[in-house]
Structure 1
Amino acid sequence: MTKNNTYYAPSGGMPPQTQLLSDRAIFTEAYAIIPKRVMTDIVTSLLPFWEGMRMWVIARPLSGFAETFSQYIVEVSPGGGSEKPELDNAAEAVLFIVEGEMDVTIEGEKHPMTEGGYAFLPPGCRWTIRNNGDTPVKFHWIRKAYQFVEGIEAPEAFVTNENNIAPIMMPDLDVWSTTRFVNGTDMRHDMHVTIVTFQPGGVIPFDETHVMEHGLYVLEGKAVYHLNGQWVEVEAGDFMWLRAFCPQSCYAGGPGQFRYLLYKDVNRQMPFIRP
């Protein structure tokens, strides 16, 4: 496996008293931006049945905010981990490592994972996690309540690494590609977590407006996004939440490539809000 990508991971800490208060953080009815600068020690959370961990919650189900998923950036110290990480049997998950190494045991089988490592964990799956290394490990943990469909089985667990998967180029474009970890036509999956890469100068050439809710964590580079009629700058370490139908386009100005971890809900009927 050849490592050829970089991944931004938060380091916590606290800014000095001399730092300006204002930042790029914004929360609107259509989108939200959580800049990397605001991911400090005082906004971390803890979970039961974990040792040596803390996490930044960057998305959670909330009226007017993320409705279909939650997303954490988890930091686990050497020797830390959990024998009961997931307490909801209906929850599926994706783990994506941005710094360090860890062991994930799925249904009794241990999988060593390093930077770029990707694990899909179906609902009801028995899994544990342990940092057996000498340095902290940091990873994204994206969770969704799986939408079961009669006649379709839930997908199986798997572990891979981004560097083992060839990106797929957008049709007729050589500056925009997507690393896909599951087949887009596989109806067992009701969420996709992919990595999107733009080369310098690449653009989304129109305001996409579609039903999928998005969570975007910038892994590398910087870009300018056009969100619901407003221009915002984003860089490595920033998180964006985009509501369904939020108009969205971007321009990757360089000097290096612009890459982000992308969540979206897919392949299911639209649920009704019933009185």
Structure 2
Amino acid sequence: MTSGKYFSALGGHPAQSELLTGRAAFTEAYAVIPKGVMRDIVASALPFWEKTRAWIIARSLSGFAETFSQYIMEVGPGGGSTRPETDGNAEAGLFVVEGSLALTIEGKRHEMTPGFFAFIPPGTRWSVRNEASGPAKFHWIRKSYEAVEGLEKPEALVANERDIKPDPMPGTDGRWATTRFVDPRDLRHDMHVTIVTLEPGAVIPFAETHVMEHGLYVLEGKAVYRLNQDWVEVEAGDFMWLRAFCPQACYAGGPGRFRYLLYKDVNRHARLNWLR
């Protein structure tokens, strides 16, 4: 199901001769951050990270999406962090798209190359270092873990998507499939990070409307997405950020596969008092 190719080209600066008209959009129901606006000028620095910059493409916003943040991290040779997370209740999902990254979780070292995913529970001691000669790039999804009395925290895991058999959507002959890094029946997890693959011409044939918030980063290909009442063209390198109940559907445009990294919050009651 994989092609071995993930979009990772970020940064630079547009020429003065370029038009400013583009596809970036922020509405009451969704946001689209196209690859062309992820330039040097919007990159961020983070505490305790060396030779690293981050594109923060989602963060909690009251009245919009409130469960997660998502970064694209670029770590230069020799860079990284021994204290990457400053929030003791934050869990993490990491997905590598370029280069090589040494990830250490509670003293155990993992070599992360493109296609590798890591889940890191809250309160876990971890670090990352780029020991290679070129940059390492990865997605970092952060969520405040919602503990439930009687459920233990999930353990850390490291896996490569190439070693996971995708789950086909029923009735699609495998043309719409999801690569799942954790068992969806495991209620200890309150977020899922998956990879969705649509073959050319495949569709999500109804407007999904649900409580889960989404972050969708296009890893490969192109498609036309229905977001709320709008049809939006997206391609590799674009990010879609959907609040709860935003209607969503999709046509995969071809000529190759359309693939995206998907975040959603799961397995918890809807909070009744956000001020508590």
> What's the TM-score once normalised by structure 2's chain length?
0.97
Aligned-partner SS, 1:271: coil
Give, in whole Å, the separation in 1 of the partners of 2:2 and 2:224. 27
Counterpart contact for 1:209–1:247, Cα < 8 Å: yes
Paired AA for residue 89 in structure 1: G
Paired AA for residue 267 in structure 2: N
**Equivalence map 1:169-208=2 (5 Å):** 169-174=168-173, 175-208=175-208
Gap change, CA 1:270 and 1:163, over 3 Å in 2: same
Paired AA for residue 24 in structure 1: R
Task: Name 1:16's counterpart in structure 2.
Answer: 15
Counterpart contact for 1:46–1:54, Cα < 8 Å: yes
Paired AA for residue 67 in structure 1: E
Aligned-residue RMSD, C-alpha = 1.2
Counterpart contact for 1:215–1:264, Cα < 8 Å: yes
Counterpart contact for 1:4–1:163, Cα < 8 Å: no
Shift of 1:270: 0.3
Counterpart contact for 1:227–1:247, Cα < 8 Å: yes
Percentage of pairs with the same residue: 67
Task: Name 2:230's counterpart in structure 1.
Answer: 230
**Equivalence map 1:86-235=2 (5 Å):** 86-174=85-173, 175-235=175-235
Give, in whole Å, the separation in 1 of the partners of 2:75 and 2:190. 28
Give, in whole Å, the separation in 2 of the partners of 1:219 and 1:55. 17
Paired AA for residue 255 in structure 2: P
Deviates more, 1:62-71 or 1:31-40: 62-71
Give, in whole Å, the separation in 1 of the partners of 2:170 and 2:264. 20
Between Structure 1 and Structure 2, how many residues are aligned? 274
Query: For 1:41-78, what per-residue CA distance to the aligned partner results, in whole angstroms no more than 9, with x for missing partners?
Result: 00000011111000100000112332100000000000
Unaligned runs of 5+ in 2: none
Aligned-partner SS, 1:141: strand
Counterpart contact for 2:211–2:244, Cα < 8 Å: yes
Unaligned runs of 5+ in 1: none
> What's the TM-score once normalised by structure 1's chain length?
0.98
Give, in whole Å, the separation in 1 of the partners of 2:201 and 2:47. 45
Task: Name 1:45's counterpart in structure 2.
Answer: 44
Task: Name 1:248's counterpart in structure 2.
Answer: 248
Paired AA for residue 38 in structure 1: V
Paired AA for residue 16 in structure 2: Q
